[in-house]
Amino acid sequence: MSSSSDQRLDVLRELVEEQETELQVAVEELEDVARRAFDARHWIQSRPFLWTAGAFLVGAWLGGRRI
């Protein structure tokens, strides 16, 4: 192998390593977004009175049903 092909190989390895790092960061950011989207605590903390009223209404509806 010539030195120019060795240099190209080194450059390609560095590029692959950089892209791998960028991909890992992007995946971690995506995981954070997905985790927040499905985290019930986040939704409840953002609108606690709405969730309390909803829980009360569901409880009243379930308690008011006659079997």
Q: In this predicted model, what pLDDT tens digit does every residue of 11-23 receive, in sequence order?
A: 999 999 999 999 9
Q: Give the whole-angstrom CA distance, residue 36 versus residue 41.
A: 9
pLDDT at 3: 84
pLDDT grade for 67, boundaries at 50, 70 and 90 = low
DSSP H or E run through 1: none
Q: Give the whole-angstrom CA distance, residue 16 versus residue 45.
A: 42
pLDDT at 57: 95
Return the structure tokens found at 50. Answer: 């709405």
Q: Is the dihedral of CA 8, 13, 18, 20 positive or negative?
A: positive
Q: In this predicted model, what pLDDT tens digit does every residue of 1-53 receive, in sequence order?
A: 578 888 999 999 999 999 999 999 999 999 988 888 788 887 888 899 999 99
Domain boundaries, the chain: 3-64
Residue 61 pLDDT exceeds 90: yes
- List alpha helices for 1-67, DSSP H: 3-37, 40-46, 48-64
